[in-house]
Amino acid sequence: AQRVTQPEKLLSVFKGAPVELKCNYSYSGSPELFWYVQYSRQRLQLLLRHISRESIKGFTADLNKGETSFHLKKPFAQEEDSAMYYCALTVGYGKLTFGQGTILTVHP
Amino acid sequence: DTGVSQNPRHKITKRGQNVTFRCDPISEHNRLYWYRQTLGQGPEFLTYFQNEAQLEKSRLLSDRFSAERPKGSFSTLEIQRTEQGDSAMYLCASSYSYEQYFGPGTRLTVT
């Protein structure tokens, strides 16, 4: 069975500080990992996909198969980064399995 | 085409009534997914279609829930004999590869 764990429900940082949102997964095969973000009153949108290895809005995420983790990082948080962040996993083109989400608040 | 659309955006119904939601995917996307999200939780998978074929259904999807995607275009999700526990945000997503694109959701409140 697939499972995604985001251990922090809430994360608060000050503007300019580094931020790391943790994500651990369990799946025996080779999943696709994603980070989705939901800003206030907006729809869920894709932030990052592990295979693309891009940096979006200054965020990066590295898949660590040994630790089964896919933590999201940004070196200098901005107030506009305040949102709900979900880590998600899929196998093939099927369903996404989401974590419970982390609410990130960036204080001025 | 501005993305996945869902109608209605909000639905308030009395317990025992039937409700139907519609999802219009991005036009070139052949896969369509339904999820349910309750407060404080991540979205949970309900079912998905590839073209008009329903390929997977979650155990969460009781017999009161049915979904269709006639002609592989829009999809409908019907809940019969609604219960208060059905109150949630119902999300639709579509894709043609690994990335899924979400609609704004339909918020259902069962009173």
Distance of alpha carbon B74 from the chain centroid: 11
User: What six digits make up the tokens of B94?
Assistant: 């579509």
Q: How confident is the model at residue A5 (pLDDT cuts 50, 70, 90)?
A: very high
CA distance A20 to B62: 38
Nearest CA in chain B to A103: B40
Are B42 and A32 an interchain contact pair (Cβ–Cβ within 8 Å)?
no
**Residues on chain A touching B36 (C-beta within 8 angstroms):** none
Are A49 and B56 an interchain contact pair (Cβ–Cβ within 8 Å)?
no
Report the residue from A34, A86, A94 with minimal CB separation from B56: A94
Q: How confident is the model at residue A50 (pLDDT cuts 50, 70, 90)?
A: confident
For chain A, percent of residues with pLDDT exceeding 90: 73
Distance of alpha carbon A23 from the chain centroid: 7
Look at the block and give the residue holding tokens 């079912």: B47
Nearest CA in chain A to B102: A44
Q: How confident is the model at residue A91 (pLDDT cuts 50, 70, 90)?
A: confident
Asked if the C-beta of B97 comes within 8 angstroms of chain A's C-beta atoms, the answer is yes
Q: What is the mean pLDDT of chain A?
A: 92
Determine the pLDDT at residue A8.
96
pLDDT digits (tens, 9 = 90+) for A64-84: 888 999 999 999 999 999 999
Determine the pLDDT at residue B59.
87
Which amino acid would we find at residue B95? S
Q: How confident is the model at residue B1 (pLDDT cuts 50, 70, 90)?
A: low
Beta strand pairing call for A24-26 and B44-50: unpaired
CA distance A96 to A33: 9
Look at the block and give the residue holding tokens 């995420």: A61
